Structure 1
Amino acid sequence: MTSELLDQALVTQALIEEATKKSGLIWVQGAGEPAACALWHVWHEGAACLVGDGPGEQPLSGLVGGGSAEVTVRSKDKGGRLVSWTARVVQLEPASEAWEAAVAELKGKRLNAPDGEAMTGRWARECRVLRLEPTGTVLPLPDGDLAARPVPSPATTREPVPAGLPKLLLKKRKRK
Structure 2
Amino acid sequence: MDRTPAAAATADDFLDRALLEEAARKSGLLWVRAEGQEQSRALWHAWHDGAVVVVGDGGEQPLHGLEAGRGAEVTVRSKDKWGRLTGWSARVGELAPGSEGWLGAVEELKGKRLNAPDTDTVTDRWARECRVLRLEPAGPQGRQLTERPGAMPDGSLATTPMPSPATTRRPVPAGLPKLLFKRRGR
**TM (normalized to structure 1)?**
0.86
Q: Secondary structure at the match of 1:2?
A: helix
Show the 5 A alignment for 1:14-25.
14-25=18-29
Q: Secondary structure at the match of 1:76?
A: coil
* Shift, 1:147, TM fit: 3.7
Q: Does the C-alpha gap of structure 1 residues 123 and 157 become closer, same or farther in structure 2, counting only changes over 3 Å?
A: closer
Q: Secondary structure at the match of 2:72?
A: strand
How many equivalent pairs are there? 172
Instruction: Give the Cα–Cα distance (whole angstroms) in 1 for the partners of residues 122 and 136 of structure 2.
Output: 24
Q: Which amino acid aligns with 1:144?
A: S
Identity rate of aligned residues, in percent?
Answer: 55
CA deviations on 1:80-136 (whole Å, 9 max, x unpaired) are 100011111111111111111111111122112122221111111211111111124
Instruction: Give the Cα–Cα distance (whole angstroms) in 2 for the partners of residues 130 and 152 of structure 1.
Output: 23
Per the alignment, residue 170 of structure 1 pairs with 181
CA deviations on 1:33-91 (whole Å, 9 max, x unpaired) are 1200110001111111111111x200111111111110001112111100011111111
Displaced runs of 4 or more, over 6 A: 150-153
RMSD, aligned CA: 2.4
Show the 5 A alignment for 1:105-144.
105-136=108-139, 137-140=144-147, 141-142=152-153, 143-144=155-156
Per the alignment, residue 146 of structure 1 pairs with 158
Q: Is residue 2:20 matched to residue 1:9? A: no
Gaps of 5+ in 1: none
**TM (normalized to structure 2)?**
0.82
Q: Does the C-alpha gap of structure 1 residues 149 and 40 become closer, same or farther in structure 2, counting only changes over 3 Å?
A: closer
Show the 5 A alignment for 1:4-153.
4-54=8-58, 56-136=59-139, 137-140=144-147, 141-142=152-153, 143-149=155-161
* Shift, 1:156, TM fit: 3.9
